[in-house]
Chains A and B, each alone.
Chain A
Amino acid sequence: MKRSDEELEQQLQQWYRQSRQQNGLPVAVKKQLAAQIAATSQPTFGWQRMMLGILQLFSWRNIQALTAVLALGIGWQLLQQEQSYYQISQSNDVYPVQVHQFTPQQTPATPPDTPNNSSGQRQALYTQKYQDYLQASKNSQIRRQLIVSRQFSEDGWHLDVCQQMQLQLTSEWLAQFKLQQHWTEPQWQQLQQSDWLQITTGAEGQILALQRSDQPPACAP
């Protein structure tokens, strides 16, 4: 054997030893297989063969595939849950109070003008898929801007419109809106610190934008 051949053999063996050592059967698979071996005894009879077949169904790849499918399913469910409706409900106390909130898809708000909602004080005025709302916020031609004073409540913000109307923005709504607007934390803090806010509403009364205002609301005397 030539010297160069010997060197190649040494290199090959060294490479093989190292590579094999670094690439053993993964521990998780090894444990699973060892458990399967231990759990399976002499599959001589039909039912035992059937058990073995069932065990083979739980192969590493099948388990991975099943996990992926489950994860997709759960992800889909979560996505479904996140498809909330932007809902504005209104009640009449001393003056109208509008509550802006996101309602899960599973419990859609009662649409306006249906017989059932006429009896309740709270009237669902507007229901729309959040996605539609986002689209509307881009396309809306009818916009209205007004300056409101803001108060914090346990459940979010109360926006007072010249003591003629109150808008209640729930914490969930604010969180969603914050996400949708891509506000950074400093921007959010600035908004939090301001007593007055300028809101932009769309055709259906939905809030499209929120920003701080240096001027107080210009209310009629």
Chain B
Amino acid sequence: MDASALDGLLADLHASAPGGLEVRRDGACTLLQAAPADLPVVMRLLREQAGLNYLANLTAVDRGESFEVVYHLFRIPADGAQVVVKCRVPRAEPRLPSVVALYPTADWQEREVYDLMGVIFDGHPNLVRVLLPDDFVGHPLRKDFKVTAT
């Protein structure tokens, strides 16, 4: 997708995101910082209007007071378009709407973020641990996680 196609969509995106939308450009990559409540509608617009039909990566960063969940969107067939959506949730209550209904590839990746970072995705069909055993205590990629002897 060339930049102008996304520019046309930006007005729609801003209008649909009352929580505020921060847009940055870094080369071919466009970064959108969205509020948690606006995430489903922003993702839906990006998929349906901008044709970004592939969620390649979903990860999370521990920012101290908050967790930043990062979505990397591409298009198939690949044309170099890349949009990164970032969403910050407070550490005290790390909840975010799930995007599994929109992007099936988010299924296991949201489970991984839940497993290792402890972000809860509302609406996920099966939010259980994926990499660690079910009886594991804690979320080890959090900065305040302390390793106990195994």
Say if A and B assemble together: no
The interface of chain A, by Cβ under 8 A from chain B, is none
